Amino acid sequence: MAETFVRLSYLLAAVLFVFSLKWMSAPSTARRGVLAGEIGMLVAVVGTLVHHEVVNYQLIFIAFFVGSAIGVPLAYLMPMTAVPQRTALSHAFGGLAVALIGTAKFYQHSPHGFTLVAVVFETLLGFLTFTGSLMAFGKLQEILPTRPIVYRNQNLVNLSILGAALVLGVWLIADPQQTWIFPVFSGLALLFGVLLIIPIGGADMPTVIALLNSYAGLAASAMGFAMDNKLLIIAGALDGSSGFILSVIMCRAMNRSFTNVLFGAFGQLQVSESKVEQKPVRSATPEEAASILESARSVIVVPGYGLAVAQAQHKLRELFDALTRRGVDVKFAIHPVAGRMPGHMNVLLAEADIPYDRLFEMDEINGDFAQADVALVIGANDVTNPAARHDKSSPIYGMPILNTDHARTVMVIKRSMNPGFAGIENELYYMDKTLMLFGDAKSFLTALLRISGTGYATPK
Amino acid sequence: MQHQGFDEISLYVFLLAGFLGFELIKRVSPLLHTPLMSLTNAISAISVVGAIIIAGSGEANALSKTLGFIAVTAATINLVSGYLITDRMLKMFKKRDGEKR
């Protein structure tokens, strides 16, 4: 009886998880998706608690309590700019949980055959996700240097360690009595996680987070194989394919391959000075910028992570409101890698109360730039560089970009002419139709709003 | 008590769930990719189920109890914070309301 209940609860949970992801497809149903996921989880946990094998409840409830005590503040106190760090951290927790269960299973049940194969995969993926995600967390939180850390023969060393771990795994499967192999194998998996992430630069973090998401899912799936639990297999496979798709999207958005992200150490090659010739740029004062914006009929704003660094989202919202009230059509063009994880920029703008139906992804809006009076670039750089289209020598050649240069007038709010994160000169800044608005994003937007104060305040 | 042989059905389940995942995730608007990732994160905290079985089992030795306890805690952190922060983010996504026009 109880056994049937457990099985049915898992079946129901699996169905709810599928609906949860299905409803996630559009903002109007997304919150229902979260609810479905929560109910699914609750059903599965209650089902598990009545499982005949489970008899010690005390320990479990203490763990629930401790976990919730940490989880609740983590969810409510995290600023939205720090969501990538939180995500990396939760991949680490997920990997750790799976790996520890694999370890416990290995020592307690002495598995062999197919179950041992699953345990080996589970532990390998779990441990490497754990340390890899911790490294990603450190880089995003800037505890660790965000520049790639490289040394000679790095790829050779990394691959040898992975190879050694795999050989040990196979050996263990062939001869399960050799229990000494297990801790060595686990150690190599932990080490490989660290080494995999240290050569990856800050600009590649969106891909890496998505990839670690995928690994965390596959680890959970492996755990399902080891425990003969279909619910775990399904949930893990859903998570694994989600992370995989997102990392492919991120790779495409940067025109890079997986191998290039993982083994390419982007960002250190470009230290070589690009042509340092002093080309003239046109700059404009807040007064001039304000009058151009006021006379525009359509404006496309191109926000980048620099906007969030300058904490200027709310000022941007005020400008959006002011322009909209004057009848200006204001849209936002979001490049897939605009933030620090997939979709991050949308969350940052939504937090500032910018309506989501004004946010457009790259493919949707690229055709509209030609009709736009003004393209206003704030805190974005490489994703607007026309060199990506035609300059074969540019490191970003081939990367899909926003067609900012097609707009009638381009305005770029930027602190100085310093090239951005990847150290690549942006041709856009030297075009005749481009006006550079020098200054901090937040103070420049404040100045814009103040200057045209009365003009913006009264509706047409 | 547990089968140790090659489990074909599980592999079918894995492959089909993977394909289903691809189809579902492809339809998710890029607008929601960040909440999507925290949602799948929370869903993969379903590993808590395995952790409960290991930690709460009557035959669990000290090692299993310790590792199981840490695992339940870690998975609970993910589960709780994952769902809550996803909902917190989704609440922020609003359409343009009428008054602004």
Of A86-100, A252-266, A357-371, A389-403, the poorest mean pLDDT is in A252-266
Shortest alpha-carbon distance between residue A253 and chain B (Å): 12
Amino acid at position A274, single letter = S
Q: In chain B, positions 3-32, which contact chain A (CB-CB < 8 Å)?
A: 3-7, 10, 13-15, 17-22, 24-32
> Which of helix, strand or coil describes residue B57?
strand
CA–CA separation, B67 vs B52, rounded Å? 11
Our CA-based measurement puts residue A94 at a distance from the nearest CA of chain B, in whole angstroms, of 6
Confidence of residue A404 (pLDDT cuts 50, 70, 90): very high
Q: What is the mean pLDDT of chain A?
A: 89
C-alpha A232/C-alpha A275 separation (Å) is 54
Share of chain A above pLDDT 70, in %: 93
Domain that holds residue B36: 29-93
Sheet of strand A298-303, all strands in order from the earlier edge strand to the far edge:
A359-361, A329-334, A298-303, A374-378, A409-414, A434-438
Q: Please tell me the predicted confidence (pLDDT) of residue B8.
A: 87
Q: At what angle do helices B8-26 and A230-253 cross, to 10 degrees?
A: 40
Cβ pair A94:B45 closer than 8 A: yes
- Is residue A71 within 8 A of residue A93, CB to CB? The reply is no
Residue A302 contacts residue A404 (beta carbons within 8 Å): yes
Looking at the partner chain, which of A116, A234, A361 has a beta carbon nearest the beta carbon of B17?
Answer: A234
Between CA A55 and CA B9 the distance in angstroms is: 29
Within a domain: B15:
no
- The Cα A323–Cα A320 span in angstroms is 5
- Is B72 within a domain? yes
Residue B3: inside a domain, yes or no? no
Spell out which residues of chain A touch residue B12, defining contact as CB-CB under 8 Å.
Answer: none
Cβ contact B78–A113 (<8 Å) = no
Residues of A in contact with B30 (CB under 8 A): 249, 334, 336, 342-343, 346, 361
* Nearest residue to A60 via CA among B13, B27, B68: B68
Judge: B46–A357 Cβ closer than 8 Å, yes or no: no
pLDDT, one tens digit per residue, over A122-178 is 999 999 999 999 999 999 998 888 788 888 888 888 889 999 999 999 999 999 999
Residue A44, judged by CB atoms within 10 A of its CB (0-12, 13-18, 19+), counts as buried
- Count of structural domains within chain B: 1
d(CA A316, CA A288): 18
Q: How far is A224 from chain B (nearest CA, A)?
A: 8
* pTM metric for this prediction: 0.90
Q: What single-letter amino acid sits at A188?
A: L
> CB within 8 A of B101, min separation 6: which ones?
none
CB contact under 8 A, A48 and B53: yes
Alpha-carbon distances, residue A276 vs A38, A396, A417, A433 (angstroms) = 56, 18, 11, 22
Structure confidence by residue, pLDDT tens digits, A266-303: 444 444 444 545 678 888 888 899 989 988 999 999 99
Question: Looking at chain A, which residue has its C-alpha nearest residue B28?
Answer: A25
Closest CA to A334 of B86, B94, B33, B41: B33
Locus of tokens 């059905």: B9
Nearest C-alpha neighbor of A286 from the set A455, A418, A450, A430 = A450
Average pLDDT score over residue span A379-393: 88
Report yes or no on B78 lying in a domain. yes
Residue of A193, A176, A50, A38 whose CA lies nearest to A111: A176
Complex ipTM: 0.92
From chain B, pick out residues whose CB is under 8 angstroms from the CB of A18: 20, 24
CA distances from B87 to A23, A67, A357, A452, B99 (A): 13, 19, 19, 38, 25
- Identify which of B54, B87, B96 has the shortest CB distance to residue A104: B54
Contact criterion met (CB < 8 Å) for B2 and A115 = yes
Residue of A115, A242, A363 to mutate, interface with B, max B Cβ within 10 Å: A242
The answer for B85, left when phi > 0, alpha when psi is -120 to 50, beta otherwise, is alpha
Q: With 70 as the cut, is the pLDDT of residue A6 above it?
A: yes
pLDDT in tens, B8-54: 899 999 999 999 999 999 999 999 999 999 999 999 999 999 999 99
Distance from CA of B99 to the nearest CA of A (A): 11
pLDDT digits (tens, 9 = 90+) for A430-455: 998 999 999 899 999 999 888 876 45
DSSP per-residue string spanning A363-378: HHHGGGGGG-SEEEEE
Mutate to test the interface with A, among B3, B46, B96 (most CBs of A within 10 A): B46
Percent of chain A with pLDDT over 90: 62
Tell me whether residues B39 and A355 touch, CB distance under 8 A: no
CB A235 within 8 A of CB A17: yes
Nearest CA in chain B to A322: B100
Selecting from B30, B56, B89 the residue whose C-beta is nearest the C-beta of A361 gives B30
pLDDT of residue A138: 94
Q: How far apart are CA A291 and CA A412, in angstroms?
A: 15
Distance separating alpha carbons of residues A39 and A408, to the nearest angstrom: 51
What local confidence, expressed as pLDDT, does residue A262 receive?
Answer: 67
**Cα atoms in the 13 Å half-sphere on the side-chain side of A382:** 22
Mean pLDDT computed over A350-359? 93
What tokens were used for B18? Answer: 């993977």
Q: Quickly state the pLDDT bin for A246 (edges 50, 70, 90).
A: very high
Question: Is A134 exposed, middle or buried, given 0-12, 13-18 or 19+ CB atoms closer than 10 A?
Answer: buried
User: Which residues 39-68 on chain B approach chain A with CB closer than 8 angstroms?
Assistant: 39-61, 63-65, 67-68
Nearest-angstrom CA–CA distance, A295 and A408: 13
- Given a cut of 90, whether residue A217 has pLDDT beyond it is yes
Q: Which residues of B touch A241 (CB under 8 A)?
A: 18-19, 21-22, 25
CA A315 from centroid of its chain's CA atoms: 25
Is B33 within 8 Å of A246 when comparing Cβ atoms? yes
In whole angstroms, what is the distance from residue A390 CA to residue A380 CA? 20
d(CA A10, CA B10): 14
Residue B96: is its pLDDT beyond 80?
no
A233, B75: Cβ pair inside 8 Å?
A: no
Residue A298 belongs to what H/E stretch? strand A298-303
The residues of A assigned a catalytic role are 382
Residue A98 confidence (pLDDT) = 97
Q: Is residue B2 a part of any domain in this protein?
A: no
Cα A263 to Cα A131: distance, rounded to the nearest angstrom: 18
- Tell whether B24 is covered by a domain: no
A432/A75 Cα distance (integer angstroms)? 47
The Cα of A110 is separated from the nearest Cα of chain B by a number of Å equal to 11
What is the pLDDT averaged over residues A367-383?
Answer: 92
pLDDT, residue A263, reads 65
Q: Which strand (E) or helix (H) includes residue A285?
A: none
Q: Is A53 left (phi over 0), alpha (psi -120 to 50) or beta?
A: alpha
Residue B55 lies in a domain: yes
Cα Rg of chain A (Å, integer): 25
How far is residue A45's CA from residue A368's CA, in Å, rounded to a whole number?
49
Q: Which residue has the higher pLDDT, A38 or A459?
A: A38
Distance in Å, alpha carbon of A297 to nearest chain B alpha carbon: 16
- Asked, for residue B14, whether it belongs to a domain, the answer is no
Per-residue CA distances from A171 to A165, A178, A185 (Å): 10, 9, 10
pLDDT at A296: 92
Beta bridge partners of A332: A301, A359
**% of chain B residues with pLDDT over 70:** 89
